[in-house]
Structure formats: C-alpha cells, structure tokens
Amino acid sequence: MISVGFKTDKGNLRSGNEDSLFLLPDQQLYIVADGVGGHNSGELASRMAVGYMAQYVAMNPIAAVASKKDLRKYFLECFQGANALIYSKSKEEEGNNGMATTTVLCYLDATDCYVVNVGDSRAYLVREGVMRQLTEDHTLVQDMLRSGLLTKEEAMMHPDRNMITRAIGGEETIEPDFYRFETCPGDVILLCTDGLYGEVSANRILQLSTEYSSMHELAKKLVDEANEAGGKDNISVVCIRIGG
C-alpha cells in the first residue's frame, strides 16, 4: 500500500506559479518540475515537460519495459523527448527564448524506487529517522562545492546558489541523472522544488516527515512552513509513503 500527498503554492512574493506536478498513481509515477524563463515561459516549460512525460508513459506503458535495466533507457528517452520539445519551442518565439525547466521524477515498482532528475528540484528519502538527499543539484554552487571551492556553509549563502547548470530545454541535448534503490516499509520519499528546501531546513523537513503519518497533511505542513519562513519562491512537494 502506497499513500501519497501533494501540494503546490505560488508562495508569498511571486505573482504566478511556474511549478508543475504530475501524478499517475495507477503506474506509481510522480513528477515535479520548476520552470525558468522570462514572462510566462517558465510556467509553459514546466507544463510542457510534465505533459510530454505523461503522454510518453501513456503511449509507452512502463509495464511493457522488458527488464529493470531497460528502465534507464526508457526514462532517458522520455527526458530527451521533453527536452527536444521545449528546446524547439524556445527557438520559435523570441518571448520564449531561454525557457527551460528542472524536473525530478520518481517511479515505484514492487520492490524498487527509480529517481531521474535534471536541475535542482530534489528527491529525499526518509528512513528510520534519517533523511538522505537522493539527487544532486545541477547548479554552479554544487559544482564549486564538489570541487572544494566552497564549504557547505558558504554554499548556503552564495549569491549564485540558484544558478542552474542543467535544465530540460536549456540545451539541444540533455543528460539526466538516474538512481535506483530498494524500498522498505515505512520509507517516505519527498519530491520538491527549491521553494521548499530554500526556506525549510533539512532537519525540520526530517522532523515533520517523521511526525506526520498522513502524506496529505505532511505536504500541506511543509508548504505552510515554507510560506511562513518567507515564501520567496513557488513551493511544490509530493510526499510518498511506502506501506508495510
């Protein structure tokens, strides 16, 4: 039994919401996207990404994938198709120039979780009171952190900490990261945009994830706390609990 809750909010300062969510519970597929670009291009990019992926899954059912090792190729082709669509759209109209979107996707089968991401929308795993970030941000600051040019404390305060180095639609080709792990009863998987973790500390996210058994209540509480902390960006979260 898998329980799911989700919520998206424009935050306190933004006039619109450039985040998009897509849930397909019957196939255990969940997607969070955060668009970037001027005017309404970010909103368009995130919606195009989740819309394309939804159509891709509908036309190519995951159940038809021959083996687990073929899932990497399956999702790579899915992300590449979304990238080509958005990249082409960004070239058609001057107002859409530079439009792109981060995306994090989660797929669950009977025993495993698969996570695919591009950009800085994240996936977390909470297990037995410990939270682990599953994805790595594709940002300038993360590159500097990995190279030893910044400390974690410096990275958190760096003025360019939101500068993305990889996004769907940003370049002609895309290379998503792919992760797989075995799930356990009681696991909580969180997908979110930077509007959540930019306002709410990892320790607080962990605390709430262990306090709330309802995923709907957890999603609402996380978004509420992000808004209470400032709500400077759009906020989106999908909360998934593995039953036992």
Q: Tell me, what's the pLDDT at 154? A: 61
Give per-residue pLDDT as tens, 159-212: 666 778 999 999 999 999 999 999 999 999 999 999 999 999 999 999 999 999
Q: Tell me, what's the pLDDT at 159? A: 60
Q: Judging by beta carbons within 10 Å of its beta carbon (0-12, 13-18, 19+), is residue 174 exposed, middle or buried?
A: buried
Judge whether residue 19 has pLDDT over 80: yes
Number of Cβ within 10 Å of residue 35's Cβ equals: 30
Name the band, by pLDDT with cuts 50, 70 and 90, for residue 111: very high
Give the residue among 221, 32, 2, 7 at the shortest CA–CA distance from 122: 32
Residue showing tokens 């089968």? 109
**pTM for the structure as a whole:** 0.94
Give the residue among 24, 22, 133 at the shortest CA–CA distance from 33: 22
Q: How far is CA 138 from the centre of its chain?
A: 12
Tokens for 8?
């998206």
d(CA 26, CA 24): 6
The alpha carbon dihedral of 77, 177, 115, 67 has a sign of positive
Torsion angles phi and psi, residue 149, rounded to 5: -85, -15
Beta bridge partners of 30: 23, 106
d(CA 204, CA 225): 9
d(CA 193, CA 234): 8
Give per-residue pLDDT as tens, 53-80: 999 999 999 988 878 889 999 999 999 9
Judge whether residue 39 has pLDDT over 60: no
Q: Tell me, what's the pLDDT at 211? A: 96
Q: Tell me, what's the pLDDT at 155? A: 61
Domains of the chain: 2-242 (3.60.40.10)
DSSP 172: S
Alpha-helix runs per DSSP H in the chain: 41-59, 70-92, 140-146, 152-157, 194-197, 202-211, 215-228
Q: Tell me, what's the pLDDT at 214? A: 97
Give the residue among 106, 134, 140, 148 at the shortest CA–CA distance from 6: 106
- Of the listed ranges 82-91, 149-158, 201-210, the least confidently predicted one is 149-158
Reduced to 3 states (helix: H, G, I; strand: E, B; else coil), residue 188 is strand
